Amino acid sequence: MNHKEEELKLLKDEIIQMWKLVISQLEKAKIAFLTNDVELALEIAQTEKRVNSMELKVERNCENYIALYNPVAIDLRLVLSIMKISISLERIGDYAEGIAHHIIDRDCNNIDNELIEELEIEKMFGVLLNMITNALVIFDLEETKSSRKILKKDKEVNRIYKMAFERLESYVLKNPKDALCGLKLILLIRKLERFGDHSGNIVEEIVFFLDAKVLKHKGKLE
C-alpha cells in the first residue's frame, strides 16, 4: 500500500469512527427517552461537541487529500462521499442532542406510556438504528446489494411520522392540559423523521461512491 492509499484508508477509518459514535448517540437517545434517564441525556448533549469536532476534522482532511493527490474516478467519489456523509452524520448527531434536551428540560416527563406506545416511537428508533447501522456495513464492505432494502425502511419511518399527527390530535383533544407536551412530541418525532432522511442520503452517497450512480431526488433505486 503506497502513501496515497494509506491516506485514503485513514479517511475511511475516520468516517467509520464518527459513524459509530453517532450510532452510539442514537442508541443512548432511545434508552434515555424510553426510561426518562436525565443523566444519560446529559451525556449525549456533552458528546455532541465531539461529533462536531470530528465532522470538521473529516472535512479538513478530505480537502487536504484532494489538494495533495488530485484524485480521480472512484477515489475522488470516495472522498466526496465521505465529506457529504460526515455532514449527514453531524446533523443526525444534532437530532440526538435535541432528543436529549427534550428529556433534560423535564417539562413533559408525565406523558402517558400508552400514548408513547401508540405513537410507535420505540419502533421508529429501531428502524432508524437498523438503517444507519446497515448503511455503515455496506460502506465498510463496499457493496451496494442491500441499498434498496435500507432505503425502503424510510417508508416505515414516514408512515409512523404521519400517523403520529392523527394520534396526537386525538389525544390532545381528550387531554387539553397536555397540549404543550403533544406539540413537543411532534417536534421530537420530526427529528426522528429527519434522521431517516439523512440516513437515506448516506446510502445514496455510498451508491454514488461504489456504482457511480446519482440517486439524489430519485428516492429509491430503479
Domain CATH number, residue 15: 1.20.58.220
pTM for the model stands at 0.92
| CA neighbor of 208 nearest in space, from 221, 197, 194 | 221
In this predicted structure, what is the pLDDT of residue 218? 53
Q: Per the structure, how many domains does the chain have?
A: 1
Per-residue pLDDT tens digits for 87-99: 999 999 999 999 9
- What does the pLDDT average to over 98-118? 83
Cα 167 off chain centre by = 25
In a domain, 221, yes or no: no
The answer to whether residues 153 and 127 touch, using CB atoms and an 8 Å cutoff, is yes
Residue 152 has pLDDT above 70, yes or no: yes
The answer to whether residues 181 and 108 touch, using CB atoms and an 8 Å cutoff, is yes
User: Rounded CA gap, 87 and 204, in Å?
Assistant: 14
The answer to whether residues 172 and 179 touch, using CB atoms and an 8 Å cutoff, is yes
Q: Which domain, by its residues, includes 199?
A: 3-211
In this predicted structure, what is the pLDDT of residue 169? 86
In this predicted structure, what is the pLDDT of residue 84? 97
In a domain, 220, yes or no: no
